[in-house]
Structure 1
Amino acid sequence: MENAELIDRYLDLILEENKTTNLTRIDSKEKARILHIEDSLVALPEVNRAPEGLYGDLGTGGGFPGFPIAVETGRKAILVDSVKKKTAIVERCVDKLGMSDRISTFSGRIEDLAREMPGKFSVLTARALSQLPSLLELASPLLKKGGLFVCYKGEASPEEEEAAKKVAKKVGMTLVSKRSLILSDGETHREIFLYEKTGKPTVKLPRRVGMAQHKPLID
């Protein structure tokens, strides 16, 4: 099966599951193709710059951008979400498509995954999951040196970007690039931030679950 067909079939399975479990607010296939598949794949150029190795999608929800990125890159992947109901559905859909040898799920908090698999990932993604400072702290302990973190944002405020600069220094991350684009619907604005793990954090990571969001390392 071609990659595009495989991704499209996965989307069908997720939309079917969505009728009984809330995975996405989008129920039209046409819209979902843009807001899930196209949106997932806009960051392929950034992901492809990462060294070889394991890929992780943080806060994967219904498996986006994780599943499309894993298929297109051919990387082994772990799709991470704290909601067990969601990861169970993603796992079921992956299994139906015969991809479970390459794509697996982790149901739990990102901090717990970092304790289990410190420095094991070559590239991570997070789409519309949290503020940049929190995301950088969560991603850092998972990445090996030289690994990349790709953040999909709607539009980050100048204050969020400034806070992210401060946290990046503390957690051993460096901003490599940022680009903006509009999806083919002509209205959805997307910003792609690319960070590299360049050094060791100056604080012990991961901190306790929830600290990255509730007490970011800004001061």
Structure 2
Amino acid sequence: MGHQPELQIEQRKLLDLHLELVLKENERSNLTRIVDWQQGQLLHIEDSLVGLQEFEDAPSGRAADLGSGGGFPGIPLAIVSGRPIMLVDSVAKKTTALDRMIEELGLEGQVSTYTGRSEELALEMPESFAVITVRALSSLPSLLELAVPLLSLGGQLICYKAAVEAEELEQAAGLEEKLGMKLVSMRTTQLSDNGTNRTILVYEKVGEPMVSLPRRPGMAQKRPYKA
């Protein structure tokens, strides 16, 4: 596949097994809207690995994947990079399914799960993460707010976006100082179907926020901060 790194045979097997387990799990619970193998290869595996370079370049330390769902991009990133990661999802049936998959993939020592919202995790493990990944979860202003109380100083938020409107970028830029975050890189690439674009944005925590975080669960999405 066009935008994947060179994969070892064992990594390729684990990536395929993960997708197989997700599609099987999908038959009994709604883990992902993708139910087709080829679509899954493109929009789950290949898409997850688009941000591999940024993930590997991020500071060393704990990693978390917010709103992980079926384990994307967290599990593929863990398989290929070797970095440990915590998969965070508020839906218990999803984290239960993830625990089963982690065991079948033999990743118990490397990949863990957390059932709850990111705001709850931030209260339990404040400023404990060096890198946070998030894919298609919310708008940039909301994502920045959710990441700040979880990240240690110098830690990075890696956002996967299908499309980024200029207005959304401007809103996020206007909040950088308030939230103590700074956009350090942004690139857009095309998946191997030559029709699907992905933008990877990396924000770094450069200072303490001027507001008290986290707010109550859901507030970041319902009433995101304005610049």
Shorter-chain TM-score bucket reads: over 0.9
Q: Which runs of 5+ in 2 are unaligned?
A: 1-8
TM-score when normalising by structure 2: 0.94
Q: How does 1:66-145 map to 2 (within 5 A)?
A: 66-145=74-153
Which amino acid counterpart does residue 13 of structure 2 have in structure 1?
E
Q: Which residue of 1 aligns with 2:221?
A: 213
Aligned-pair distance for 1:191?
0.8
Task: Pick from 154, 157, 160 the counterpart of residue 162 of structure 2.
Answer: 154
Q: Displacement of 1:6 after TM fit?
A: 1.1
Structure 1, unaligned stretches of length 5 or more?
Answer: none
For residues 61 and 218 of structure 2, the distance between their equivalents in structure 1, rounded to whole angstroms, comes to 28
- Paired residue total: 219
Deviation at 1:183, TM superposition (A): 0.6
| CA apart distance, 1:168 | 2.1
Name the counterpart of 1:44: 52
CA contact 1:47–1:148 (8 Å) conserved in 2: no
Distance in 1 of aligned mates of 2:78 and 2:178: 30
Looking at structure 2, the residues matched to 96 and 48 of structure 1 have their Cα atoms a distance apart, in angstroms, of 25
1:175 is matched with which residue?
183
Q: 1:4 aligns with which of 2, 12, 20?
A: 12
Question: Contact 1:172 / 1:202 at 8 angstroms: preserved in 2?
Answer: yes
* 1:185 lines up with 2:221 in the alignment: no
Give the conservation status (yes or no) of the 8 Å contact 1:178–1:191.
yes
Query: Aligned partners of 2:11, 2:179: CA distance in 1, in Å?
Result: 36
Secondary structure at 1:2 match in 2: helix
Do the aligned residues in 2 keep the contact of 1:55 with 1:124 (CA within 8 Å)? yes
Q: What is the rounded CA distance, in whole Å, between the counterparts of 2:94 and 2:164 in structure 1? A: 27
| Native 8 Å contact 1:55 1:70 kept in 2 | no
Please, which moves more after superposition, 57-66 or 181-190?
181-190
The 4+ residue runs of structure 1 with deviation greater than 3 A are none
Would the aligned equivalents of 1:117 and 1:142 in 2 still touch at CA under 8 Å?
yes
What SS does the corresponding residue of 2:156 show, helix, strand or coil? Answer: strand
Q: TM-score, normalised by structure 1?
A: 0.97
Aligned-residue sequence identity (percent) comes to: 53
Q: Counterparts of 1:169 and 1:92 in 2: how far apart (Å)? A: 41
CA RMSD of aligned residues (A): 1.1
Q: Secondary structure at the match of 2:16?
A: helix
